[in-house]
Amino acid sequence: MDMKPDKPTDRELIERTLAGDTTCFETLFDRYRRQLYASILGKCGEQDAGDIIQETYVKAYFNLPRYNPEYTFGQWIYTIARNLFIDFARRKRSAGNTVSIDGENGDGINPPCDTLNPEERIISRQRGRMLDNLMSELPPRYRTMIELRFIGEYSYDEIAEKLGMPIGTVKTRIHRAREKLCALITARKLL
């Protein structure tokens, strides 16, 4: 009689991802994607929720060496999504719109420690180089958007002003740039 192997635990998937198994992180993230999306969608629109979840995916992948196993992966990934939503809400508020950051799942979660050990620093540098290589493959207009938004941490309004573009164009290009970057990561089997 054939027995199906149990699904790997979050910890096993994390270890495999850190060891170079490129498919494990996607499996791990998929376990939480719906809950994260539903949580964020309850606070903003579909487009914004989708953008925040995409950002969460990329940010979690490149920061996985910093994951602190004292927290469940669910707590850690939720904290990343929540912090990205808070940044989004701040940008909306500064633009004159208000968005509630209160949520039934967001209270009481402490962010994990940000200190890297030497091994994690090496892995982080390697991932940084991989990201730089992927960024070099993006068309310049998308690379600029990623650099300004995620490295320079400019708001949409600041990018629009800096580049002399309408805010809608900036949002569209950032969304497309994220999609292209995620497609490159997936095509290279980095996730």
Check: CB of residue 118 under 8 Å from CB of residue 53: no
Check: CB of residue 146 under 8 Å from CB of residue 181: yes
Side chain identity, residue 13: L
Per-residue pLDDT for 109 more than 50? no
Which bin fits 189, alpha (ψ -120 to 50), beta or left (φ > 0)?
A: left
Which two tokens mark 112?
């994990």
The tally of CA atoms less than 13 A away on the side-chain side of residue 161 is: 5
CATH level 3 topology of 10-104+115-187: Rna Polymerase Sigma Factor; Chain: A (1.10.1740)
Task: Return mean pLDDT, the chain.
Answer: 78
pLDDT one-digit tens code per residue, 36-84: 888 888 788 788 888 888 888 888 888 888 888 888 898 899 989 888 8
Strand ranges in 71-150 using DSSP code E only, listed in sequence order:
none
Alpha-carbon gap, residue 14 to 69, rounded angstroms: 10
Cβ burial, residue 75 (10 Å; 0-12/13-18/19+): middle
pLDDT one-digit tens code per residue, 86-96: 888 887 777 66
3-state secondary structure 8-29: CCHHHHHHHHHCCCCCHHHHHH
**Quick one: pLDDT at residue 107?**
41
pLDDT one-digit tens code per residue, 144-186: 888 888 777 788 888 889 899 998 898 888 888 888 887 787 7
Alpha-carbon gap, residue 171 to 101, rounded angstroms: 21
Mean pLDDT of 110-121: 55
Q: Where are the domains of the chain?
A: 10-104+115-187
Sign of CA pseudo-dihedral 39, 40, 45, 51: negative
Which bin fits 115, alpha (ψ -120 to 50), beta or left (φ > 0)?
A: beta
**Quick one: pLDDT at residue 123?**
65
Vertex 57, ends 54 and 63: CA angle to 5°? Answer: 140
Mean pLDDT of 11-29: 85
**Quick one: pLDDT at residue 166?**
92
